[in-house]
Amino acid sequence: MRTLIRKSTTSLVASLAAGALVVSVPTAASASAPSMAPTAARAASTTSTSASTSASTSSATTAAAAAPVSIKVSYPYRVRAGRVVSFKVTLVNKLKTRTDEIFLAAKFPKNVTKARIYVPQGSRYNERCTRERIRALCVLPGLKKGRSYTFWAKAWVSGSARGKLYGYFGGAVTDTPLNTDPKQLLNEFGGSISWVKTKSTITR
């Protein structure tokens, strides 16, 4: 079974629906707040301006509410060129049962020299992630009832970087072996993923 991550424009948290891809609206934190606490104002700022947009938003919200896994991304407003930037990614099981396996992707199209996804030290689960220059792809065990995963996606910002740093986060809940090549899953789902997009200003 495959579930797409549907992007919701009315919630801070989007969902990884069973057998499909689900994404979360990103939550940003100012550079002066190292805890990266999410703010609700950004999510509340998006409104529907037509009947068709309202219907689309309603559909996305319904899909997100029914999805088994929610995903939230916290990120800094400003980053320094030549430094390592951290993005906090949290996946939460919303079901009363265990979920299928989870495919998670993080990518940074430009201004980075390396991208990685790490799990907290001492955790009981291990990431199965690719290690590439502009993206990291993972296949994770399903989440048990009431449990969550917390990851740190890290991007090494180029010393010559200018302008904005864009990050894209998405994934899927899918019935697949843990040894599945995550690149294969990206090829399968990539065109259907509604990515969580973050934007940070690069300073020097």
Q: What is the pLDDT of residues 136-152, one digit of tens each?
A: 998 888 888 988 888 89
Which residues lie below 8 Å from residue 59, measured CB to CB, with a gap of 6+? Answer: none
Per-residue pLDDT at 5: 41
Least confident of 12-26, 85-99, 105-119: 12-26
| 29 pLDDT tier (thresholds 50, 70, 90) | low
In whole angstroms, what is the distance from residue 161 CA to residue 13 CA?
A: 30
Of 99, 92, 69, nearest to 5 (Cα)? 69
Beta strand 78-80 pairing with 14-16: unpaired
| 33 pLDDT tier (thresholds 50, 70, 90) | very low
Least confident of 45-49, 52-56, 85-89, 155-159: 45-49
| Interval 173-177 mean pLDDT | 88
End-to-end CA distance of the chain: 46
| Interval 86-104 mean pLDDT | 89
**Domain extents for the chain?**
2-203
- In the CATH hierarchy, which top-level class contains the domain 2-203? mainly beta
Residue 158 has pLDDT above 90, yes or no: yes
